[in-house]
Every structure is written in structure tokens, then in C-alpha cells.
Structure 1
Amino acid sequence: MGHIVIVETTTSGSEMKILEAPLSMNVRVTFIAKSMEVHSYNNKHRILGISDRTIGPLPFFVELGATFPFRVDSSMYQEIEGVISRLFSVLQINQGMIHTELILSKQGPIIVEVNPRLGGGYIGTLISESYEIDIYLQIINLALGKEPIIPDIPQKAASFYILFPDKAGEITDLSGELASIYQYP
């Protein structure tokens, strides 16, 4: 049996404490979540951006795509920054790339999980494309104790979408509209 770490906060968000509880079951909750990439250097936390995700239909529940950066209004962004700053302080996160899952609710952002790494899948590629940098090189700089060099704002948006066939088979011809796939690297 594993453990789950729960960060409990007051309704004002002014106080946080960490609780540990045994994890004995999996519960699947349906909601719309966003992913957020943050880099921390010398106790300063910078949100690189938020990505939205497209999730496939049940029962498979796989991630089919994402777009980075996802725009949120300025008041929600400020709330997210405040929550992240308090949460990272409680968790004593002061340096590294941090992947955070969150729900954007009417009551404010709800943190679902925090991971001491860059988001998986194509998230690194989306960030690299969006900022026009090599995010992996910047992560190496962080690991070496150097401040990453990342532009202040993304230069463009980036997105991916994965197509899964609805039945088994073999592709024998790419003619018509499908032939346009050859124009992409």
C-alpha cells in the first residue's frame, strides 16, 4: 500500500500544512484539468505556461493532445501564482522544473498534483516550440546550478493531437486528403 500526500489549506489560503494518509484505492473523478510548467531558481518561481489537454473517451481515458500556452484571465493567473508560491514554500521547492496538474474552478485554482520534473509526453516539445528555445538544455542548466535562459513570454502557440484508429487494420494507400501528410516532416 502506498501513501498519498495531502496539502490542506485554509479557505483564505493563508496557511498550509502537509498531511500523509494511506492510499488504498484508486478513485476516478471526471473533471477538466490543466497542466502547468514552472521553473524555480533560487526560490523564485516562474510559470512558463499552462497547457490544456484533450482526453479521449472512456473507458481508455488517454491524452490525445494538448496546446501550450493556454490563456487564463489575469485574475485567475494571479491566484495561480499566489497558490504556487505558497505551495512551493510549504513543499520547500526552491530549484528545478516543476510539473503541476490543476483544476481551474470558480472558487480558484485547485492543485491536483505536483511533480519535480518537466511534464511528460510532448510537453517539452510544445514549450521548446512556443518559446523558440531548447527547454531540455535549460533543464540541464538548472541541474548545473545555472539560471535558465528563457524569454519572458512565449513567441507562439504550439499544439499536438494524436489520432487513434477506431478499428484494427493496415494502411495500404495514402491517396486523396491523407496524401497531404507527406508535406509534414
Structure 2
Amino acid sequence: MKKKALILIEGIGPGTGPQYVQAAEHLDLHPITLSSTKVKYDNLSGDRIEVLQVDTGNLGALIRECSRLQERYEIAGITSAEEKVYATVGKLCRHFGLPGPNPDSVEQCCDKFIQRKLLAEAGVPIPAYRLATTAAEVEICAAEIGLPVVLKPAVGGIGSIGVRLCRNIDELVQHTAFLLHAKQLWRSSPRILVEEFAHGPFYEAETMGNEVIGISTAEFDNPPLFLFRESIFPAMLTSAEQERLSNVALSCLEALSIGWGPANIEMRWTTRGPVVIEVNPRIAGGTYPRRVQMAYGVDLVAEHVKLVIGAEWDLRRKYRQTSGVRFLIPDRDGTLDWVVGDIEAAAVSGVAEIDLYVAPPASIVRTGDYRDRIGHVIAASPSFAQTKAILQHAASLINWSIKPFSDA
């Protein structure tokens, strides 16, 4: 009898990758990842996972490789944690008759301009927005909406890559020039989304199928960046606020036809109530699944894998705590000279994890997005206030020194 395998398309490096491998193993599945580059995963032993190099942008090549793997394995499911290939995952699932997301819906959702059109047509509250392809069009759109505005790539921009708040004309001109010349952001010609800046507390709803699992709240680092500094799950909300945010999140799933599998809906609570900032048709990456598990005892990654292989899933809460993450963000570029205090921070009661992503003498070159983080603190406790206090205390114990490149 052939061993059952779970095929992972890209994205099993640091973050949710090891969690998918662990979930597959717990379900007696052999994890195999297909990647555009032959990646060595230091956190995964070679006998636990196969890493095969395939052009993941070529659907035909993926079909051929999966067909070849069928000679040795029974493919139980195909999935990914990466948005850039999630529509391709849906196409592969259709080809092989496996459960999976609707690829057409995912493609529409991943285009932020089309996403907003569909949400607006369905009556979902969103910020005012325009699409621009030239610097002149960006200025016209910004004038129509009124400063400040948010500029972002219409496709991509994952982890706030290329996303900026433009508070005046100088910032608008500067970031427009950056986006128009950032060839790595565009598969074809540049398409820039110009969007009204929605003021108010930030929330994220985690969903699976047509169910809202929970809602977190987050704070950002200094503007004009949208770089998360802290996120806590679940948010401290009244029952009425919880219901209102949940209803808006569910209306997004219906409007975008993405009610299969996981999704992440970003919102701000403005003077007119919840306004949808973005809908991500995939499981939230990084520390999100672990925090949901610490707070509710629900393993989002494992339940997603069960859905992918057609097994019965279980989203029921096992208990209720509050969990959170505090990211360590440098304030300058240069060479990391030293880091201290992580051992002391790990000893703080309630701290579940300290993770430093870099070690001296790493080069620190900030890009204004999630790649700027040099580490994180995760904590859990019975209450929102206590978790927040633990995160702040533990993070305050961790210090580092960055020498300017000219001094290094």
C-alpha cells in the first residue's frame, strides 16, 4: 500500500512551515514540498520532509511532478501557506480531484483592486480607493480622495511590502517613484492602489470555512510604515462589537466567494464602524496559528490540513486564554553588534517563546515591512491586560546595539 503524502507548494520555511510538517506527521502523512529553489530547511531534519525543486509558477510542471509522485505515494492533499501560489494550489486540487480553494475566487481576492470592487458591490464597508498606473494618475487620485492616503501595490504587498502612508505631497511623490521603479513588485506593468487612510483601532478576524474563530487587535510601529509592533488574541471587545466585526468578516467571505478554508480579514473601527482594509484568502502566517492555539486550544494549521485531505475538522475551543506577540524592531541600519536579555526575558512568567531571527554580526538593512523584525516575544495569560504587561516587560529586557556601517 502506498504511503499517503501531503504536498506543500512553497512556503515551508520559518513561520508556519514547521507547523504544517508537524500536522502532516500527526496525521500519518509524508510531507513533500515543491519549491522553485532547492531550499535547505535548517529547522527540519532531512528524513522528515522531501524538498523537490520545481517551477511553481508553471502549472504544467507542477502537474507533471505531482503525477510522478503518484507513482510512489497516494496524494492525500495539496496546499500552501503562501498567497502567491494559493490560486495555483486550487488549480492543482481541481486537476487531481482533491478538496481545495476556488482558484478563480483566490485570484480575484489577491488583486486588491478587484477585491475592493467586489466588496463595494456587495455593500461591504471599505475605504475610498482608486487605481493608478502613472505618477500623474497617483496625484490625481490622491487629490480626489484627500491626503493622507495609503499607497500599495494592487497585487502583492504581502507583509506590508510596498505599503506606505503618505501624509503630504512630498511623501506621495517619493513613494510613488519607489513603487513605479520597484521591478521586483511587478509581474507586468505597475498598478498602484491609492486608498483613503482609515483611522481607528485595528482588528483581524481569523476564519475557517464560514466560521469566525476569533478576532485579534494589533498596534503598529511608527508611521508612515504599517509594521506590526504588537498583536493580542483575542481582542478585548464587547459582545456587540464582537458580533459586528464578525458579521463584516463573514460578509467578506460571501462577497469574495472564499468560504472554503482559512482566511484573514483586516479591519479598522472608524467613526462609521468597522471598515475592511484587506482580505487575505489563506491562513495567517508567522505566529498567528500558534497564538490561536495558546488562547483557544485550536490548531489552525492541523485543522486546515484535515480540511485539505477531506477529514473531519474541529474548531471548538478547548479553553480560553489571551495570547500575544511583541516584535523586536530595530530603529536604524547597520551591523548588529550584540543582543542581551533574551535569557532573562524567557524566564518571565507567562512568556512562551523568545525567538531571535538574527545573530551578531548580521547586517541590518530596513525595508519598512515585516522583514525588518529581528525577533519576537510570545506570551499567554488569563487576561488581556496581563498578557500585554508580560509582553512589554519581557521585551524591555531585550536590548541590542547596532553600529552604523561606516563604523563597523
Q: Name the TM-score, length of structure 2 as normaliser.
A: 0.37
User: Structure 2 CA distance, aligned partners of 1:179 and 1:84?
Assistant: 39
User: Structure 1 CA distance, aligned partners of 2:300 and 2:318?
Assistant: 14
User: Structure 2 CA distance, aligned partners of 1:57 and 1:155?
Assistant: 31
User: Structure 1 CA distance, aligned partners of 2:251 and 2:302?
Assistant: 28
Q: CA deviation at 1:100?
A: 0.5
Q: CA deviation at 1:111?
A: 1.2
* 1:122 match: 287
SS at match of 2:338: coil
* 1:54 match: 219
1:108 is the counterpart of 2:276: no
1:8 is the counterpart of 2:120: yes
User: Does structure 2 retain, via aligned residues, the 8 Å contact 1:141–1:147?
Assistant: yes
* Structure (1 or 2) with the larger CA radius of gyration: 2
1:151 is the counterpart of 2:151: no
SS at match of 1:128: helix
- Spell out the pairing of 1:151-170 with structure 2 (5 A cutoff): 151-152=316-317, 155-166=320-331, 169-170=336-337
- Spell out the pairing of 1:44-83 with structure 2 (5 A cutoff): 45-83=210-248
Deviations 1:95-140 (A, max 9, x none): 1101000112342221111111112221111112112243211110
- Spell out the pairing of 1:81-96 with structure 2 (5 A cutoff): 81-96=246-261
Decide which structure has greater helix share: 2
Q: What is the one-letter code of the residue matched to 1:162?
A: F
User: Structure 1 CA distance, aligned partners of 2:283 and 2:241?
Assistant: 22
SS at match of 1:95: coil
Structure 2 residue runs without a partner (length 5+): 1-110, 139-150, 152-163, 166-196, 354-408
Q: CA deviation at 1:49?
A: 1.1
Deviations 1:44-95 (A, max 9, x none): x211111111211134442122100103222222223333333322222231
Distance 1:23 1:51, change over 3 A: farther
Q: What is the one-letter code of the residue matched to 2:345?
A: I
Distance 1:9 1:172, change over 3 A: closer
Distance 1:23 1:100, change over 3 A: farther
User: Structure 1 CA distance, aligned partners of 2:112 and 2:330?
Assistant: 37
Q: CA deviation at 1:179?
A: 5.3
User: Structure 2 CA distance, aligned partners of 1:148 and 1:34?
Assistant: 26
User: Does structure 2 retain, via aligned residues, the 8 Å contact 1:98–1:117?
Assistant: yes
- Spell out the pairing of 1:13-28 with structure 2 (5 A cutoff): 13=123, 22-24=131-133, 25=138, 26=151, 28=165
SS at match of 1:181: helix
Decide which structure has greater strand share: 1
Of the structure 1 ranges 60-69 and 24-33, higher mean CA displacement relative to structure 2 is found in 24-33
SS at match of 1:148: coil
Q: CA deviation at 1:146?
A: 3.2
User: Does structure 2 retain, via aligned residues, the 8 Å contact 1:102–1:109?
Assistant: yes
Q: CA deviation at 1:153?
A: 6.8
User: Structure 2 CA distance, aligned partners of 1:86 and 1:74?
Assistant: 18
Distance 1:85 1:173, change over 3 A: closer
SS at match of 1:170: strand
Of the structure 1 ranges 146-155 and 114-123, higher mean CA displacement relative to structure 2 is found in 146-155
User: Structure 2 CA distance, aligned partners of 1:74 and 1:173?
Assistant: 42
SS at match of 1:126: helix
Question: Taking every aligned residue pair, what percent have the same amino acid on both sides?
Answer: 19
User: Structure 1 CA distance, aligned partners of 2:285 and 2:211?
Assistant: 19
User: Structure 1 CA distance, aligned partners of 2:330 and 2:313?
Assistant: 40
User: Does structure 2 retain, via aligned residues, the 8 Å contact 1:131–1:150?
Assistant: no
User: Does structure 2 retain, via aligned residues, the 8 Å contact 1:3–1:22?
Assistant: no
